[in-house]
Amino acid sequence: MTDHTVTSFDQDMRLITRMVTEMGGHAESIVAQAVAALMRGDKAIADSIIAQDLVLDNLQHELDEHAFVVIARRQPMAVDLREIIGALRMAGDLERVGDMGKSIAKRTKEIGDVIFPKKVLHGLDHLNRLALEQLKNVLDAYVHKDVEKAREVIARDDEIDQVYTSLFRELLTYMMEDPRNITLCTHLLFCAKNIERIGDHATNLAETIEYIITGKSALSTHGTRPVHA
């Protein structure tokens, strides 16, 4: 390739990276706002989050189109092709993270003005902080091409699962103690599950980053994992 072509290709790749990180920051913001709205019962913020999810969808569409054009024009190979395919995979996971945030926002509007039990609030907050930390770390790993940091995210997935299981049991206890709690706790169970799934998507992102950097599937390194929607 000529110097001009190489420079142009480098610009294309930097744009793909920038689009993924922009999606990541937007997804992270949606989740943080959604859980804050849930815990405060703020329906106005919940409405704004539902609108913000459309922005994330549009960003994914733009990234898809740009990536396909780069593949068609440049015909990249090896690590460059892995990076583009990996970016497309990551965009899919980040779009789903936004969907989880939107789902929490919709639940917030349905719950109404209620006071959550303190232990449930603490559990939701803990679960959310872990999920957001995983998202932040995996995006840092992507920007810096840090495979060890990506592997740390994969290793911490069980921690989120344990907190979710504890919160699940707590909510079931409230439901059994008083049938009037069933509607609220059912909504909160779905919200907690969405946060747990955000942690799963962070793990998927980390596995994709490991594939981009090493060329090896995470399955060959960590064993078979379920596919998370």
Any idea which architecture 3-222 has in CATH? Up-down Bundle (1.20)
Query: Using the 8-state DSSP alphabet, how is residue 113 labeled?
Result: S
Confidence tier at 229 by pLDDT (50, 70, 90): very low
Q: Is the pLDDT of residue 98 over 50?
A: yes
CB 188 within 8 Å of CB 116: yes
Q: Is the pLDDT of residue 222 over 80?
A: no
Give the pLDDT of residue 228.
46
Q: Is the pLDDT of residue 65 over 60?
A: yes
Confidence tier at 60 by pLDDT (50, 70, 90): very high
Burial class (CB within 10 angstroms; exposed 0-12, middle 13-18, buried 19+) of 15 = middle
CB 175 within 8 Å of CB 115: no
- Residue among 125, 123, 154 at smallest CA distance from 137: 154
- Min mean pLDDT across 11-15, 55-59, 88-92, 108-112 is at 108-112
Produce one character per residue of 59-96: b if its CB has 16 or more CB atoms within 10 Å, e if not: bbeebeebbeebeeebebeeebebbbbbbbbbbbbbbb
Q: Show me where the domains of the chain are located.
A: 3-222
Query: If you search the block for the tokens 């704004």, which residue do you land on?
Result: 48
Confidence tier at 129 by pLDDT (50, 70, 90): very high
Give the pLDDT of residue 173.
94
- Quote the CA–CA distance of 168 and 165 in Å, as a whole number: 5
Tens digit of each residue's pLDDT (9 = 90 or more) over 7-22: 788 899 999 999 999 9
Give the pLDDT of residue 224.
43
Q: To 5 degrees, how large is the angle CA 41–CA 57–CA 14?
A: 120
Burial class (CB within 10 angstroms; exposed 0-12, middle 13-18, buried 19+) of 204 = buried
Q: What is the mean pLDDT of residues 185-205?
A: 96
- Quote the CA–CA distance of 179 and 138 in Å, as a whole number: 40
- Alpha-helix residue ranges (DSSP H) falling in the chain: 3-40, 43-74, 78-111, 118-144, 147-155, 157-177, 182-214, 218-222
Confidence tier at 2 by pLDDT (50, 70, 90): low
**Mean pLDDT value across the chain:** 90
Confidence tier at 99 by pLDDT (50, 70, 90): very high
Q: Is the pLDDT of residue 3 over 70?
A: no
Question: Which of 67 and 111 is assigned the larger pLDDT?
Answer: 67
Confidence tier at 225 by pLDDT (50, 70, 90): low
